Chains A and B, each alone.
Chain A
């Protein structure tokens, strides 16, 4: 699986993929993108690295899943504290940059998607390779 071509391509593609995933995460409020898509692209980039250089030792990726769900759920329920319906979000402008609290929610989704995908692949990888 790990050929010279794959390794060379992976060196270039992996950082770009991670960056593009992050970009999708941040533009997701107004433009196509968001936590889910960004997370998937990032996870794909990491997978390309694993294919080229072999996977890292197993980690407890499922902790990332609970962290992501926790962050998303906390931001969703936080609105209750100020007496608004759940999932209410606020938008402000920091200079020229538009910032929304829904970004925090999306970061939670991003972490969840990346770690869930990697956890699933890592588990199956372990199981399928002799």
Chain B
């Protein structure tokens, strides 16, 4: 089923075209059209996978596990679809605020990043997961350092170094698993990991968890994140904030469901999740800069997603995946609003921004909706995400962590109120113009949270189906290995 490859092939080709064609307008045209095609292809893939099950591509016609495969199950396809949609919206935010000296290879980098991300979601092979991680990271290094000053270059160096060390650990883990099992195919691993020598598998799984934990920014591996996300231009930060950590979360889900399934609550993972929630939100409360507050909230929210994973039941995974998808939309919308404000007013500190709500009431709405959603206020998607997680947590008797998660969401609300009172209330500043397309981009992402809030059952049915297929790694392995 070659459709499973389309969400990677389309951005690759579109990025290539963007690198070749002359002229800014033509590049923008190709770029937006290519993004649109990626969104359409990945949405089509979701529909196909929902109806027919795992879509598998055997590259070069070599049968798995000997050849390289792409295996799109519902989880991967959903992530690719959301990622493509968010990439399109943030690209539009760039169009709204065109940089006079935008690097001619910006579009190529943007598409390459999407290709790497979709590849990571859809690949059925651990080593290729590493490769697509690297593709994504190299593109992100490029986008991060576009037009940077010295201090920014220094910060970017730290980001690159942290990710490089994590990738090295990832590679070592792949080698350990290959030595233990003799395969790097995910389906093959999930079938045969049980018979492999424990003394090789345990360190490998641990190393993988650390490597993915760095990318996902879980406690205590999140310290690189607030620095890195404070750096790049607004829309880039919005996309990074929405998607980059989710690739790590996705990889953790893949690791602890398909490859090395957990059954029932995993105490150490629950502890990591709760600590991530608490430390993230406490860090956010201490900050004064809008973007830094939002970045630290990413950390806190990642805790909820890992919490869903840690509970180890199909219902909890469904809630966690719902949380992932909800958070991508919400966080990107919040960061896009802060990007619009920053590019119009040249500052992101709370004190400098007092009174924005008078000058830009619609911007206030675009911020308030995802902010309330983030804190878990009905009727937005964040409310449902938390309801599903809390219910799943109580079902397996993890009352303590559930209580902690509710406390953290109260603190999240407090922190959002701080931004809102600080930045949007107060006396009006001199009004600066914010391009209309920027509203459209932010609204396009914020729309996700409203639709999922009001029609939450549609998305929840999808994530529940995805979680059921994760709970049954045998069917994934059959689809990949049993020559389709």
Listed in ascending order, the chain A residues whose CB lies under 8 Å from chain B are: 62-63, 65-66, 69-70, 73, 77, 80, 84-89
Q: Considering only CB atoms, which chain B residue lies closest to A69 in the complex?
A: B16
Task: State A68–B21 Cα separation when bound (angstroms).
Answer: 15
Is there an interface contact between A66 and B19, defined as CB atoms closer than 8 Å? yes
Q: Does B2 contact A (CB under 8 A)?
A: yes
Task: State A102–B51 Cα separation when bound (angstroms).
Answer: 35
Task: State A89–B61 Cα separation when bound (angstroms).
Answer: 9
Is there an interface contact between B59 and A73, defined as CB atoms closer than 8 Å? no
Is there an interface contact between A73 and B13, defined as CB atoms closer than 8 Å? yes
Q: Which of B302-329 contact A (CB under 8 A)?
A: none
Contact among B12, B19, B20, B59 for A85, CB-based, below 8 A = B59
Contacts of A66 in B (CB 8 A): 16, 19-20
Contacts of B9 in A (CB 8 A): 73, 77, 86
Is there an interface contact between B13 and A85, defined as CB atoms closer than 8 Å? no
Q: Which of B5-27 contact A (CB under 8 A)?
A: 5, 9, 12-13, 16, 19-20
Q: Which of B45-86 contact A (CB under 8 A)?
A: 57-61, 68
B9 shortest CB reach to chain A, Å: 6
Contact among A62, A70, A73, A80 for B2, CB-based, below 8 A = A80
Task: State A62–B104 Cα separation when bound (angstroms).
Answer: 11
Contact among A62, A65, A77, A87 for B60, CB-based, below 8 A = A87
29 inter-chain pairs at a CB distance below 8 angstroms, sorted by A residue, are A62-B19, A62-B105, A65-B19, A66-B16, A66-B19, A70-B16, A70-B20, A73-B9, A73-B13, A73-B16, A77-B9, A77-B13, A80-B2, A84-B61, A85-B2, A85-B57, A85-B58, A85-B59, A85-B61, A86-B2, A86-B5, A86-B9, A86-B57, A86-B60, A87-B59, A87-B68, A88-B59, A88-B60, A88-B61
Contacts of B60 in A (CB 8 A): 85-89
Task: State A62–B5 Cα separation when bound (angstroms).
Answer: 27
Contacts of A80 in B (CB 8 A): 2
B53 shortest CB reach to chain A, Å: 18
Q: Considering only CB atoms, which chain A residue lies closest to B69 in the complex?
A: A85
Task: State A61–B69 Cα separation when bound (angstroms).
Answer: 33
Q: Considering only CB atoms, which chain A residue lies closest to B15 in the complex?
A: A69
Contacts of B59 in A (CB 8 A): 85-88
Contacts of B68 in A (CB 8 A): 87
Task: State A77–B20 Cα separation when bound (angstroms).
Answer: 19
A103 shortest CB reach to chain B, Å: 15
6 closest Cβ contacts across the A-B interface? Answer: A87-B60, A87-B59, A66-B19, A88-B61, A88-B60, A66-B20
A9 shortest CB reach to chain B, Å: 35
Q: Considering only CB atoms, which chain A residue lies closest to B2 in the complex?
A: A80
Task: State A125–B5 Cα separation when bound (angstroms).
Answer: 39
Task: State A70–B21 Cα separation when bound (angstroms).
Answer: 13
Contacts of A70 in B (CB 8 A): 16, 20
Contacts of B61 in A (CB 8 A): 84-85, 88
Q: Considering only CB atoms, which chain B residue lies closest to A74 in the complex?
A: B13
Contacts of A77 in B (CB 8 A): 9, 13
Contacts of B105 in A (CB 8 A): 62
Task: State A87–B58 Cα separation when bound (angstroms).
Answer: 9
Contacts of A65 in B (CB 8 A): 19
Task: State A80–B1 Cα separation when bound (angstroms).
Answer: 11
